[in-house]
Chains A and B, each alone.
Chain A
Amino acid sequence: MALRAILLVLLVAVLAAVPLFAASSQTFLAIVFAKSVAVLGLLLLLQAGQVSFGHGMFFATGAYTVAFLGRSMGGGDLALLLAASVVTSAVLGLLVGLFVVRYRYIFFGMLNLAFSMVLYSILEKFFHLTGGSDGLRIRRPTAFGFTFDRAQFDMVLYYSTFAMAFLAAYLVWRYLRSPLGQALKAIKTNETRLEYIGLSARFVMLVGYVISAVLCGVGGAFLGVIQGIATPEYSYWTRSAEFVFIAILGGVGHVAGALTGTFVYEAVRTYAAAFVADSWQMILGFVLLAIILKAPSGIVGLVEGFTARRRKAEASALTVEAAR
Chain B
Amino acid sequence: MSFDTIVLAVCDGVAYASLVFLVAVGLTFIFGVLGVLNIAHGSFYALGAYTAVSAGIFLTKAGFSPWLTFPALFVAAIFIGAVLGGLMEKLLLQRIYDKEQVLQILVTFAIFMILENVQRLIWGVQPYFMSEPLQLLGNISLFGISYTAYQTLFLPALAVIVLLGLRYFLRHTAAGAQILAVTEDREAASAIGIDAQKVYFVTFIAGATLAALGGALAAPTTSLMPGMGAEMIVLSFAVAATAGLGQIEGAAVAALMIGLGRSLAVYLAPEFEVLVPYILMVGVLIFRPSGLFGAPQLRKI
Seen from chain A, the residues whose Cβ lies within 8 Å of a Cβ on chain B are 46, 49-51, 53, 99, 102-107, 109-111, 113-115, 117-118, 121-122, 125-126, 192, 237, 241, 244, 248, 278-282, 284-286, 288-289, 292-293, 296
In the complex the two chains form, what is the Cα distance from A280 to B117 in whole Å? 8
Interface size class of B (residues with CB under 8 A): 35 or more
* Stretch touching chain A among B105-113, B164-172, B256-264: B105-113
Do B117 and A117 touch (CB < 8 A)? no
- Say whether B230 faces chain A, with CB atoms less than 8 Å apart: yes
Do B237 and A110 touch (CB < 8 A)? yes
Do B110 and A292 touch (CB < 8 A)? yes
Q: Which 5 residue pairs across A and B have the least CB separation, nearest first?
A: A285-B114, A285-B113, A282-B117, A288-B110, A121-B274
Do A118 and B114 touch (CB < 8 A)? no
Do B278 and A289 touch (CB < 8 A)? no
Neighbouring B residues of A51 by C-beta, 8 Å: 102, 105-106
Q: Indicate with 1 or 0, residue by residue over B116-147, a CB within 8 angstroms of chain A CB atoms.
A: 11101100000000000000000000000000
Nearest CB in chain A to that of B111: its residue: A285
In the complex the two chains form, what is the Cα distance from A95 to B101 in whole Å? 26
Neighbouring A residues of B121 by C-beta, 8 Å: 278-279, 282
Neighbouring A residues of B100 by C-beta, 8 Å: 49
In the complex the two chains form, what is the Cα distance from A124 to B100 in whole Å? 36
B contacts with A: majority SS: helix
Partner of B106 from the list A114, A126, A248 (CB cut-off 8 Å) is: A248
A301 CB to nearest B CB, Å: 14
Do A50 and B109 touch (CB < 8 A)? no
- Say whether B160 faces chain A, with CB atoms less than 8 Å apart: no
In the complex the two chains form, what is the Cα distance from A237 to B112 in whole Å? 12
Do A289 and B107 touch (CB < 8 A)? yes
Neighbouring B residues of A192 by C-beta, 8 Å: 299, 301
* Stretch touching chain A among B7-15, B180-188, B281-289: B281-289
Assuming the A-B contacts A51-B102, A105-B105, A192-B301, are A117 and B110 also in contact, with contact meaning beta carbons closer than 8 angstroms in the complex? no
- Say whether B198 faces chain A, with CB atoms less than 8 Å apart: no
In the complex the two chains form, what is the Cα distance from A59 to B111 in whole Å? 24
In the complex the two chains form, what is the Cα distance from A248 to B102 in whole Å? 11
Neighbouring A residues of B111 by C-beta, 8 Å: 285, 289
Neighbouring A residues of B299 by C-beta, 8 Å: 192
15 A-B Cβ contacts within 8 A? A46-B102, A51-B102, A99-B286, A102-B289, A103-B289, A111-B285, A117-B230, A121-B274, A192-B301, A278-B117, A280-B117, A281-B113, A281-B116, A282-B113, A282-B121
Partner of B282 from the list A99, A105, A121, A248 (CB cut-off 8 Å) is: A99
B38 CB to nearest A CB, Å: 10
Neighbouring A residues of B285 by C-beta, 8 Å: 99, 111
A273 CB to nearest B CB, Å: 13
Neighbouring B residues of A50 by C-beta, 8 Å: 102
Assuming the A-B contacts A105-B101, A278-B121, are A114 and B234 also in contact, with contact meaning beta carbons closer than 8 angstroms in the complex? yes
Q: Indicate with 1 or 0, residue by residue over B46-68, a CB within 8 angstroms of chain A CB atoms.
A: 00000000000000000000000
- Say whether B161 faces chain A, with CB atoms less than 8 Å apart: no
Neighbouring A residues of B286 by C-beta, 8 Å: 99
Neighbouring A residues of B105 by C-beta, 8 Å: 51, 105-106, 109
Do B234 and A110 touch (CB < 8 A)? yes
The residue among A105, A248, A292 with the most chain B CB atoms within 10 A of its own CB is A292
Partner of B110 from the list A105, A114, A121, A289 (CB cut-off 8 Å) is: A289
In the complex the two chains form, what is the Cα distance from A115 to B281 in whole Å? 11
A196 CB to nearest B CB, Å: 9
Partner of B241 from the list A105, A107, A281 (CB cut-off 8 Å) is: A107
In the complex the two chains form, what is the Cα distance from A214 to B88 in whole Å? 37
Do A117 and B107 touch (CB < 8 A)? no
Neighbouring A residues of B110 by C-beta, 8 Å: 284-286, 288-289, 292
Seed contacts A281-B113, A289-B107; 15 additional CB < 8 Å A-B pairs: A49-B102, A114-B238, A114-B281, A117-B230, A117-B231, A125-B274, A248-B106, A282-B118, A284-B110, A285-B113, A289-B92, A289-B110, A292-B103, A292-B106, A293-B96
